[in-house]
Homo-oligomer: A and B are copies of this chain.
Amino acid sequence: MLDAIGVSDIDQLFSEIPAELQSGRLTNVPPGIPEMELARVMTARSQQDGRYINFIGGGVYEHHIPAAVWELTTRGEFYTAYTPYQAEASQGTLQLVYEFQTMMASLLALDISNASLYEGASALAEAILAAVRVKKKARTVLIPRAVNPVYRKVVETIVRNQNIKLVEIPFSATEGTTEVSALRDYEGDAVAAVVVPQPNYFGLLEDVDTLTDSAHELDALAIGLVNPTAMALLKPPGNWGSDGADIAVGEGQPLGIPLSSGGPYMGFMCCKSKYVRQIPGRIVGRTRDDQGNDGFTLTLQAREQHIRRSKATSNICTNQGLMVVAATLYMSLLGPEGLRRVAARCHHNTNILVEKLTAIDGVKRCFEHPFFHDVVIQLDQPVADVMRAIEAQGISAGIDLSSEYPELGNALLTCATESRTVDEIENYATHLERILSRRSLDPPCAEKVAQ
């Protein structure tokens, strides 16, 4: 090959690189190892991490994933294809995405779905940017404090530089749901969008109808932020209030995607047809080939960076395609009824969890309000210490809310999906009871010293 090129060694191929730069020798990259040794390293590390019985939710859930999902998702033809730029050579991915779009749009009762964004929080940011594009002049966006605090931070990072004002809407101290009345304070302001979570971060069910109508009264778009599993049971954004939410987004992880320490997941985004040109991300359409047969292709690319460059709706290019494969397989394997039962079982199990935990002295629910499958529990002791003690029993108890929501005291966000058994729930309660009572009788050393 060197001969064909007309050089005598490979180094000559790099001759255009200034000599003073050619010293890229790697020193910190370890030497290569064969797969056998790699297997040993990775197995050891995975075993170091072990397995915990998981009661953590907060937007990411341990659901059962049918074996077929990943056995098919990792087929080379899905796994190692690129974005379907050559439609005729990518009908597999394209038809699948079209089917995904159909399922998601229907699950959310909206007209249109895109082919995924990175994940839930950045999807929310993108929805806000889309709303601002729709509303042009209006640059205020109302976000409930009852939205996942990390989501609010991500939105801040992403929209910060675009002259958008993010306003926090408080939640009711007693109900834990967004203060609908607070929206009225922004009448007359140029509000581009109101974010409406369902359920909210505390698992509580918002009055989505009123919030959506109120948003529209402000002449703002209503952006639904939803858990897709919940949508199998709850009223979908497209049906909220009299006109429905305009855009809805969320984290797609619950649809067949493993926890995996945080990713890859996928964000979904649906909207009313009239906003289709404002949303970011790939979209697949059905069309015909020159013989009149149905086929699928990427479409409406004039929104995207590779065509519109600095005028694009977003800079997104690579999305989370393979997660869309997994989610589509997951939904197809469960069907509408299976999905509904999963949602119902999650809620059922969390109700059992609430019952067992609140039967313990010093444990109560923070809010007595209808909820779905996440719940805030209040302890009579600092959450972090209790969680550490429970973790020693192989149980991940939930999320400590005390630094993000100091107003809630020793608050713990927890949940029990369909993956948890009643035995596991009881085991959690037993340990919690023991830990709380032991600690209140006999606080650990550090606290003794402090006393």
Instruction: Tell yes or no: A294 within 8 A of B by CB.
Output: no
> Taking the complex as formed, is A39 at the interface, i.e. its CB lies under 8 A from any CB of chain B?
yes
CB-based contact B35/A66 at 8 Å: yes
Smallest Cβ-Cβ distance to A38: which chain B residue: B67
- In angstroms, Cα B74 to Cα A40, docked, is 23
Selected contact of A71 from candidates B34, B40, B74, B419, CB within 8 Å: B74
Does A5 sit at the interface, judged by CB under 8 A?
no
Q: Give the A interface residue count (CB, 8 A).
A: 14
Quick one: copies of this chain in the complex?
A: 2
Residues of B within 8 A of A74 (CB): 71
CB neighbours (8 Å) of A418 from chain B are 36
Instruction: Give A419 to B66 CA distance when docked, in angstroms.
Output: 32
- Residues in B with CB closer than 8 Å to A421 are 40
In the bound complex, residues from chain B placing their C-beta under 8 Å from that of A64 are 34-36, 39
Q: Separation in Å of the A98 CB from the closest CB of chain B?
A: 22
Interface residue A75 (Cβ < 8 Å from any Cβ of B): yes
Asked if B35 and A67 sit within 8 Å, CB to CB, the answer is: yes
Q: Taking A35-B66, A71-B74, A75-B75 as given, write out 8 further A-B residue pairs in contact, using a Cβ cutoff of 8 Å, ordered by the A residue number.
A: A34-B64, A35-B64, A35-B67, A36-B64, A36-B418, A36-B419, A39-B64, A40-B421
> Can you list 11 residue pairs at the A/B interface with Cβ under 8 Å?
A34-B64, A35-B64, A35-B66, A35-B67, A36-B64, A36-B418, A36-B419, A39-B64, A40-B421, A71-B74, A75-B75
Pairs A-B, 7 closest by C-beta atoms: A36-B64, A35-B66, A36-B419, A35-B67, A75-B75, A35-B64, A36-B418
